[in-house]
Amino acid sequence: MTLDDIKRDLLASYETDGGINRSDDANLPGEESVNHLARDCMHLLFPGFFDEYAVTEKKLPALLDTLLARTAARLEIEIEKALRFARDPAPAARARETAAAFLSRLPALRRVVQTDIAAAYAGDPAARSLEEIILAYPCVLVISLQRLAHILYTLKVPLIPRMLTEYAHERTGTDIHPGAKIGTHFFIDHCTGVVVGETASIGNHVKIYQGVTLGAKSFLTDEKGNPVKGVKRHPELRDNVIVYPGATILGGETVIGENSIVGSNVWLMQSIPANSIVYYQGDASSIVRPRKPKESLLEEFTDWVI
């Protein structure tokens, strides 16, 4: 088979099987362009932290002028592509409005992200400074980009929110859907192998460890067997919950009550009340009991599974 034969067959495949992004058709958002957005947004959140040289106070306004102008322009272009793909009736105008709305929320978002950094510092005795956490802890990238993507998700921008969180997923191994609702002071210790689904809800001051899944137990299907979109499928963690490594919590009706602890490798598909501890012991049966004030799992049990 010659190269011309292969070219002919590939062109036929593009026509019949799809999977091609053409500028004279839908022209989807570009992966590399969205990755640039992710990086520029992190620079806006933490100026000088991810550059070769730290920024000076005198040069900071000029740096922000450059970053904001570049980010706004790229946002408008990529959002307009996403809206055209979704057959929005006025993609250009809505892209401008959406980009401005997104950027206007950055100051408030920075304040929330600072609570995540404080939670990481308070929750990890190995941390020596807040600066170390920003520079070296993968949870900062994962949670910050999810919070940014969640803004675009709530503004009903197609495609781009998931692309932003996928950038963090590729970098860290942690996959948090942009639709998940997350409170303040959120910390993911070690931040690898974690999966949080679209309709999950996480309260304030929640800490989870590596390998935790907040997933769907099952999903409804329509008369054609296709998944029904937009229904609650993932669990809720209320304030001050701790989930230890390898735990799996499933189901849209599953609620982990305030101040509760879920031990390592626990598999949960039902709610537990506030102030509870769930763990495996002996024959690996699940045990739920009230939690004593200020009690940690390690203080009470030495034989839980890691």
Between CA 105 and CA 101 the distance in angstroms is 7
What per-residue confidence (pLDDT) applies to 69? Answer: 97
At 286, the pLDDT band (50, 70, 90 cuts) reads low
What per-residue confidence (pLDDT) applies to 22? Answer: 65
Between CA 64 and CA 44 the distance in angstroms is 7
Per domain, the residue ranges of the chain are: 23-173, 193-306
3-state secondary structure of 108: helix
What per-residue confidence (pLDDT) applies to 305? Answer: 36
Between CA 129 and CA 140 the distance in angstroms is 14
193-306 has CATH 2.160.10.10 classification: yes
Mean pLDDT check: name the lowest of 151-160, 227-236, 245-254: 227-236
Amino acid at 161: P
What per-residue confidence (pLDDT) applies to 10? Answer: 84
3-state secondary structure of 122: helix
Residue range 216-231: average pLDDT? 78
Q: Which two tokens stand for residue 173?
A: 């191994």
Provide φ and ψ at 3, rounded to 5°: -65, -35
Which ranges constitute the DSSP H helices of 27-59? Answer: 31-45
Between CA 26 and CA 159 the distance in angstroms is 13
CATH class of domain segment(s) 23-173: mainly alpha
**Residue 56 pLDDT exceeds 80:** yes
Q: Tell me the β-bridge partners of 243.
A: 208, 262
**Residue 28 pLDDT exceeds 50:** yes
pLDDT tens by residue, 134-193: 999 999 999 999 999 999 999 999 999 999 999 999 999 999 999 999 999 999 999 999
Within 8 A by CB and 6+ apart from 54, the residues are: 48
